[in-house]
Amino acid sequence: MALEINNVSYIKNGKNILKNINLFLDTGMYALLGSNGAGKSTLLKVISTLLKPTQGSVLYDKKDIKNNSEYLSKLSFMPQNVGLIKDFDIVDNLHYFGLLKGCKNKELKTKISAILSDFDLEALKNVKVFNLSGGVVQRTGIALSLINSPKILILDEPFNNLDSTERKRLYNILQEISKNSAVIISTHLIAEIENVADTFIFMKEGSITHIGNRDESIAGFTEKTGRTSPNPDISENKEEHAKYQKTMFEMASEYYTKYF
């Protein structure tokens, strides 16, 4: 499994939204971090084939993802607002979207049972979506994105609406999936993802400013800025004090996404 993003740029209305993006994604969990407007959603849409790059290419196992039905069958994209059918119950949604994603009717039954159990949705499986809470809808949406056993799983802000128990459940599931697939998560919740993702991809103004694991990201930040550890003693200046209260990783993240 290898996804290669080679020199990808995306220009819309004269605006360079993605600038020369180069990425190599293997199995593992990748966090995509960046401020509003950094280009994260645009990059995810390019990887999902929803947008065609103005320049460059995206290859899956050395083949262009353009008109590549094998790639599409292995891809799953969960956007920020989950598009479940409100009049269907959970099982019908899983079944319907499974068929749309090309799963065979025969294998769907087993898959749906496994997913309902993994996501603790059995008791709610026959409840129509319009009667479910926001958290359960979100959980069902994520469950839905796994129906085709994706090799490339893209989740845009998946932790919204989830309480800490649900987040933990999701981390465990995603960690399991990331052993054999590339899981790409775009999120603003840095503290949430800090100990979960293997690799962090930081973006600012359409460019990637840093790629690395947690320790590498902190080390790069230390090297470039001279910052070593948070200093809890600085209290005269409120703003400075608040800044130092952050973890090294949060400071590194802020550096790569705002000031690099």
Binding site for ligand ATP (CB under 6 A): 12-13, 15, 17, 34, 36-42
Q: What is the DSSP string of 118-157?
A: HTT-GGGTTSBGGGS-HHHHHHHHHHHTTTT--SEEEEES
* SS3 at position 254: helix
Three-state SS for 51-120 is CCCCEEEEEECCEECCCCHHHHHHEEEECCCCCCCCCCEHHHHHHHHHHHCCCCHHHHHHHHHHHHHHCC
Nearer to ligand ATP, 21 or 142 (CB): 21
Nearest distance, CB of residue 34 and ligand ATP, angstroms: 5
Nearest distance, CB of residue 225 and ligand ATP, angstroms: 23
Phi, psi of 113 (to 5 degrees): -60, -45
Nearest distance, CB of residue 131 and ligand ATP, angstroms: 29
User: How far lies 146's CA from each of 5, 22, 100, in Å?
Assistant: 23, 27, 13
Nearer to ligand ATP, 132 or 197 (CB): 197
Nearest distance, CB of residue 52 and ligand ATP, angstroms: 13
Nearer to ligand ATP, 128 or 188 (CB): 188
Nearest distance, CB of residue 160 and ligand ATP, angstroms: 12
Nearest distance, CB of residue 43 and ligand ATP, angstroms: 7
Nearer to ligand ATP, 37 or 134 (CB): 37
Q: Find where tokens 């999902």 sit.
A: 48
Nearer to ligand ATP, 33 or 248 (CB): 33
Of 165, 171, 218, nearest to 197 by C-alpha is 171
Q: Residues of 88-102 as b/e, b for ≥16 C-beta within 10 angstroms?
A: bbbbbbbbbbbeebe
Nearer to ligand ATP, 40 or 214 (CB): 40
Angle at which helices 90-100 and 134-144 cross, to 10°: 30
Nearest distance, CB of residue 215 and ligand ATP, angstroms: 25
Nearer to ligand ATP, 39 or 158 (CB): 39
Structure-token pair, residue 124 = 């709610």
Sort residue 130 into left (φ over 0), alpha (ψ -120 to 50) or beta.
alpha
